[in-house]
């Protein structure tokens, strides 16, 4: 598969995947991205122009999608509206991109018989109790709790239907929370890191007991590449790196690594419908496809991420002031 189309390839995890494929394969990559607030053309800067082509466009544009699918071997579908808070405020863009956009891509994959991999989230499974020893598996029933996670669940089901009904050669992966380079400063980890860099006290929702299962974006990329190469058509694979941490611990670790007191943060009102805990069991991916994460130690991955944001202020600074002004208007 030497010709790849990556939707959402200027976004956070999509751009990390493009960098990974350029560095670890001979693939030529076409990136389709609408450059909404979370997409950043600068995330692809420095990549070889003879191997990476950028197309500014929308995945709901059936004519453009058809044209691009005709010229590639495989498609990796990262493009999504993906912010829970935004989905609570304005659900419609999530329906358009996550449902209609995925349908548009699947129809093109069906027409051109292209290998298709769909990127999804562990949030389709709902959440777990804080004291529950269980983790999500490929058999966990769907139980989404926001417009975002509901539309991602719907897109997963569309992929499964197109595999079964039309023979589309597709796989799905549901991943835990990513961190790493090129993540928008509105997101939890980069927001706290950039706050400390700017001399602003980090903000913690509620008591900070909510647990997320963190994975470095480079490990997510290597897992997707493994599934694209070895995955069984029609199968779903959960991607995780055993990185469970509650939000309070993450903020305090960021402060410690950055040389600040561990308690130098403020509590703010918890957000509506804030899921308690996500946790991924990636046994199937590891045992059947032989994948393992490189950043098995969350602290070392976080330190590398902090270094990246320190060294790349020119990348994140343009969005920082507007992001903080927005959260300040909500008391967060």
CA-to-CA separations, 323 to 42, 278, 286, in angstroms, rounded: 18, 26, 38
Q: Examine the residue annotation and report whether 122 is marked as an active-site residue of this protein.
A: yes
What 3-state class would DSSP assign to 117?
strand
Catalytic residue among 33, 58, 123, 281: 123
Tell me the CA end-to-end span of the chain in Å, nearest whole number. 45
For residue 131, what are its two tokens?
């004291």
Q: Examine the residue annotation and report whether 179 is marked as an active-site residue of this protein.
A: no
Backbone angles phi, psi at 263, to 5 degrees: -105, 15
Q: What number of CA atoms fall less than 13 Å from residue 100's CA on the CB side?
A: 11
User: For residue 219, what are the contacts with CB-CB under 8 A and spacing of at least 6?
Assistant: 239, 241, 293, 294, 295
Q: Examine the residue annotation and report whether 123 is marked as an active-site residue of this protein.
A: yes
Residue in this structure with the two tokens 């597709």, named with its chain if needed: 170
Catalytic residue among 122, 156, 213, 281: 122
Question: What kind and span of H or E run contains 315?
Answer: helix 313-329
What 3-state class would DSSP assign to 328?
helix
Catalytic residue among 78, 103, 125, 148: 148
Q: What number of CA atoms fall less than 13 Å from residue 97's CA on the CB side?
A: 25
146-162 per-residue burial string, b: 16 or more CB within 10 A, e: under 16: bbbbbbbbbbbebbeeb
CB 320 within 8 A of CB 187: no
User: For residue 196, what are the contacts with CB-CB under 8 A and spacing of at least 6?
Assistant: 202, 254, 255, 258, 260
CA-to-CA separations, 191 to 15, 55, 146, 330, 332, in angstroms, rounded: 19, 29, 22, 15, 12
What 3-state class would DSSP assign to 239?
strand
Catalytic residues: 122-123, 148
């Amino acid at each position: 598969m030497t010709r790849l189309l990556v939707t959402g390839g200027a976004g956070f995890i999509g751009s990390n995947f493009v960098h990974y494929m350029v560095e670890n394969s001979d693939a030529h990559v076409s990136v389709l991205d609408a450059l909404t607030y979370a997409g950043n053309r600068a995330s692809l800067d420095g990549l070889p122009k003879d191997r990476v082509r950028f197309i500014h466009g929308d995945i709901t544009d059936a004519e453009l999608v058809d044209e691009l699918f005709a010229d590639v071997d495989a498609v990796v579908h990262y493009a999504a509206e993906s912010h829970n808070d935004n989905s609570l405020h304005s659900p419609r863009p999530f329906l358009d991109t996550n449902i209609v956009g995925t349908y548009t891509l699947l129809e093109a994959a069906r027409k051109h018989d292209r290998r298709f991999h769909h990127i999804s989230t562990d949030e389709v499974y709902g959440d777990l109790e804080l004291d529950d020893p269980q983790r999500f598996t490929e058999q966990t029933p769907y139980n989404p709790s926001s417009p975002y996670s509901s539309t991602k669940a719907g897109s997963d089901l569309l992929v499964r239907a197109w595999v079964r009904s039309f023979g589309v050669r597709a796989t799905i992966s549901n991943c835990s929370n990513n961190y790493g380079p090129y993540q928008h400063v509105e997101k939890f980890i980069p927001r706290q890191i950039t706050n400390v860099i700017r001399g602003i006290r980090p903000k913690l929702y509620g008591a900070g007991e909510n647990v997320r299962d963190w994975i470095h974006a480079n490990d997510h990329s290597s897992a997707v590449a493994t599934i694209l190469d070895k995955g069984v058509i029609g199968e779903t694979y959960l991607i995780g790196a055993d990185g469970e941490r509650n939000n309070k611990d993450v903020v305090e670790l960021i402060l410690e690594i950055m040389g600040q007191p561990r308690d130098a943060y403020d509590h703010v009102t918890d957000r509506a419908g804030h899921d308690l805990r996500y946790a991924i069991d990636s046994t199937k991916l590891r045992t059947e496809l032989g994948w393992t994460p490189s950043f098995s130690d969350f602290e070392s991955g976080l330190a590398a991420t902090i270094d990246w944001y320190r060294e790349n202020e020119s990348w994140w600074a343009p969005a920082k002031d507007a992001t903080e002004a927005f959260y300040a208007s909500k008391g967060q």
